[in-house]
Amino acid sequence: MAEFRVEQVLNPQDFLQEAASLGCDDCGMNFALGPLADSFLQGKKPIDVVRKVYVVYRGDALVLAFVGIASMARFLCTPRAAQLNAQDIPAAMSLLTSALASAEGPEAVDKLSGRRDLVDAFIDAWIAELSTRGIDASGLPPTFPVKSSYASLATLPQPVLLPPGYRIEPATDVDVDTLTALLIAFASDVRMPQAVEIVRPRAVEHIACGEAWMCLSEDGEPAAACVVGRASLRTIAIRSLYVAPAHRRKGLARAFVTSMTRYFLGAEAHGIVALASPSAFEKGVKEEVCICVQDDYVEEIYAKCGFQFAESPEVPWKGEKSWFPLQIRAVKVEQGLGESAGAVLIS
């Protein structure tokens, strides 16, 4: 079997196309490719950020990708169908961490987001690599564990109609304050409260980048909001969805998710107005729509919309993983670099 090799990607934007051409732009990679693609959007500020991409290959097959974007957490992902077993992972991580430490220095990684087993293996290898450089470090406990899953045309259920009188349309500049209020309520619901000073600039960005959608009642009252993002060439993620309390228990959440999922997969979507196709919104038709969920009741909603949450994380007809446990872990440096620890929201 071919040996592992690691390469630094000198043009990160080109890597988005390379991953797609290699058949690696899927749900397993969305958590790295998506933020990388987002960082090039004109509506994001700033767009001239430092990006670091390192890729591990086995022969010509891409098996691991490490993506670092400015001060954001580093992301570690693998294609869903990558052939990496428990015996392979330590060797791949040792090679990757050695290359990172040599090229970027021991401060290159202070926190990491990604699939649970890969993050744990990387942290172990990173600590060992720092030790060879005379630096004592330890891994902090994981935070914000979630499940990542996807839906495709093959998994879609029958269309679900919006309740009578409701419609879905892209958010515009006049919706900034309303979207901000709904996103603040969403953050409170997921037990990560955020101040308006933080949320409002993000709402402006989401609207500027075509990532925000509103569900309105018959009289135009905002009933729900959905934010998408992490749009690579073949995937996109539903990052948040919030239904205002006055509009709950009507099946609105399920209908909203189903319509957005079908829309981005190029299937018939009910209730969406103002756009003829996703290409008009500059996102394009995707092959997979991705999500991250933390709570069981949210998982139940998404499962009814075609997202895969089998008891055994495998899709029987493909032999591939259908969902992944994700986590964030930070590294605490005991000496030499001071402390470096933190966490970011998986969304």
Q: Look at residue 341 and tell me if it is in a domain.
A: no
Going by the DSSP 8-state scheme, the letter that residue 161 receives in this structure is P
Can you tell me the distance from the alpha carbon of 264 to that of 273, in angstroms, rounded to the nearest whole number? 14
Tokens of 293: 């969920």
Closest CA to 55 of 79, 37, 90, 72: 79
Q: pLDDT tier at 346 (50, 70, 90 boundaries)?
A: very low
Mean local confidence (pLDDT), 94-115: 95
Can you tell me the distance from the alpha carbon of 100 to that of 93, in angstroms, rounded to the nearest whole number? 10
How far is CA 147 from each of CA 116, 155, 294, 304, rounded to the nearest angstrom? 10, 17, 6, 16
Average pLDDT of every residue of the chain: 88
pLDDT tens-digit readout, 293-327: 988 888 999 999 999 887 655 554 455 677 889 99
pLDDT tens-digit readout, 177-221: 999 999 999 998 877 899 999 999 999 999 999 999 999 999 999
Same domain, residue pair 178 and 109: no
Is the pLDDT at 286 greater than 70, yes or no? yes
Identify the pLDDT of residue 341. 35
Indicate the pairing of strand 235-243 with strand 222-229: antiparallel
Same domain, residue pair 245 and 281: yes
**Residue bearing tokens 């709570």:** 295
Closest CA to 53 of 71, 33, 72: 33
Can you tell me the distance from the alpha carbon of 146 to that of 54, in angstroms, rounded to the nearest whole number? 25
How far is it between the farthest Cα atoms of the chain? 66
Q: Look at residue 265 and tell me if it is in a domain.
A: yes
- Tell me the angle at which helices 27-38 and 12-21 cross, rounded to the nearest 10 degrees: 150
Q: pLDDT tier at 342 (50, 70, 90 boundaries)?
A: very low
Identify the pLDDT of residue 297. 85
CATH number for the domain spanning 190: value is 3.40.630.30
* pTM of the full structure: 0.89
pLDDT tens-digit readout, 40-83: 887 776 656 889 999 999 999 999 999 999 877 799 999 987 87
Number of structural domains found in the chain: 2
Identify the pLDDT of residue 62. 95
Same domain, residue pair 72 and 125: yes
Q: Look at residue 344 and tell me if it is in a domain.
A: no
Going by C-beta distance under 8 Å and a sequence separation of 6 or more, which residues neighbour residue 323? 147, 148, 149, 150, 308, 309, 310, 313
CATH number for the domain spanning 77: value is 3.40.630
Give the domain range for residue 177: 167-303
